[in-house]
Structure 1
């Protein structure tokens, strides 16, 4: 793992990016995979043989193979390509290849046979600086198939807490926080898993800090719902954020907590990027 950021190495014929630590575990990406297949099924089904890329699948191919199975349940003709910048990881992963599932050497340049419909890049940008993020996002988004999505984020070692940004070719669209409601004390527990674009912005005066503070207050007010289950408490928290915004007629939450109760009960909270984007810098626009 590279401990400090460097300029992206762009060399002819070489993958773009730095080698990551490669830590992975079975079922670690279940929350983001469930969200993708549940909320963006049409992205997969509206394209013939949609190509899904798992960028930086790590030292073992387990989570790439799991994504392949989950996507195939939605789009039976989907194909998945795992990309890694380290040749030894690719060689190891090829032992589990099967029709529709392959592994290649690659990085942010996404040198795939055709534009990918979906790119999942998880736990890849943690080693970079915040200033690197816009360029990396732009490099990957430019390679997307029209109508495709890039999902970039971070999760803990076993997938209990996660956060990700969903982007299209035009840029970031939404931020999703996802947790196991039984294993968090409050919504802001996810702060340490915010994507690189936001993790250093969780300070007073920043929109993402306000989002987490408002979510914590709503969580506290929803304590009685915990008698039914932590899932119900999380859903009540999300509903309270929406209702408070609607009642007061103010941004950022008025009618803009996305997904609805079915998603909220899964421990998800999705908001437009405009709710959480940095207050200044290239990602503020």
Structure 2
């Protein structure tokens, strides 16, 4: 008898391009680029439509033509729907490549994959859980990773303009937090507080590191308003340069122009 998937059925909200920011980040990550042949990437909890798995494969194949994406869902009706969408894709009836290396199956945090995945992306999956459930979920998912693999666990708004995620290693230890924001309409960077991963969303209170980080980012964004005539990207870069000058250990400056900022987990870890 096949064991039941581990986890709860999510709300299932799925929108085209909702996860584009994290997809592009994964595509550039050394974990994927340095992986052995035929890396497997799992889209865990893809929701009511298989579109996020199709988009993920399309974005990653530019970095790794041999990538394969497996979408996993607990709800068998969602798996059936995604497989129907896949059949339509194979017939050339979508905007995705008919030969996309994508498949769907039923599964949860136990990640029932045919081989160890290089990446597990679990987005908007843990929002309905308690903070106390996060560590066990991370442990279950990372236990299935290939050597050098990673879990990317995060949250975004309904249209993907505000996105945050944690990179977690195969040892289940969190490594970094990334914020990715649409700069053209950004009022304050702390809007990301509403979409922080479950491990941090209840920690945005005085005395916690993530609260200090978001307040400092808001301050630098406000001070950088003087360069607003040069555009939001210039303002964002100026704000992040101010963060570095203030002692914040920001990473990957080459990606700042995309509205991203990454900090090591130690800078935002719960106290």
Normalising by the smaller structure, the TM-score range is over 0.9
SS of 1:81's partner is strand
Deviation at 1:225, TM superposition (A): 2.0
SS of 1:74's partner is coil
The separation in 1 between residues aligned to 2:185 and 2:196, in whole angstroms, is 17
Alpha-carbon deviations, 1:35-94, whole Å to 9, x = none? Answer: 1112x0453443110000000000001111000101111100110000000001001101
Structure 1 residue runs of 4+, over 2 Å off? 41-46, 95-99
Aligned to 1:6: none
The separation in 1 between residues aligned to 2:160 and 2:52, in whole angstroms, is 11
Aligned to 1:153: 154
SS of 1:94's partner is helix
Decide whether the 8 Å contact of 1:163 with 1:190 is kept in 2: yes
Alpha-carbon deviations, 1:93-113, whole Å to 9, x = none? Answer: 012335521000000000101
SS of 2:61's partner is helix
Alpha-carbon deviations, 1:199-234, whole Å to 9, x = none? Answer: 000000000000000101111111122111111111
Aligned to 2:45: 56
Aligned to 2:35: 46
* Aligned residue pairs, count: 258
Unaligned runs of 5+ in 1: 1-10, 246-252, 280-285
Q: Which shifted more, 144-153 or 224-233?
A: 224-233
Decide whether the 8 Å contact of 1:115 with 1:145 is kept in 2: yes
TM-score (norm 1): 0.88
Q: In structure 2, which of residues 1, 8, 13 is the aligned counterpart of residue 23 of structure 1?
A: 13
Decide whether the 8 Å contact of 2:40 with 2:117 is kept in 1: yes
The separation in 1 between residues aligned to 2:200 and 2:141, in whole angstroms, is 19
SS of 2:250's partner is coil
Q: In structure 1, which of residues 255, 258, 271 is the aligned counterpart of residue 251 of structure 2?
A: 258
How is 1:193-272 mapped onto 2 (pairs within 5 angstroms)? 193-245=195-247, 253=248, 256-260=249-253, 262-272=254-264
Deviation at 1:238, TM superposition (A): 1.1
The separation in 2 between residues aligned to 1:103 and 1:173, in whole angstroms, is 29
Structure 1 pair 99–182 and aligned structure 2 pair: CA distance change class (3 A): closer
TM-score (norm 2): 0.92
SS of 2:70's partner is strand
Decide whether the 8 Å contact of 2:31 with 2:150 is kept in 1: no
User: 1:89 aligned to 2:78?
Assistant: yes
Aligned to 2:55: 66
Structure 1 pair 118–42 and aligned structure 2 pair: CA distance change class (3 A): closer
Unaligned runs of 5+ in 2: 87-98
The separation in 2 between residues aligned to 1:70 and 1:166, in whole angstroms, is 19
* Two-structure CA RMSD over aligned residues (Å): 1.3
Decide whether the 8 Å contact of 1:57 with 1:83 is kept in 2: yes
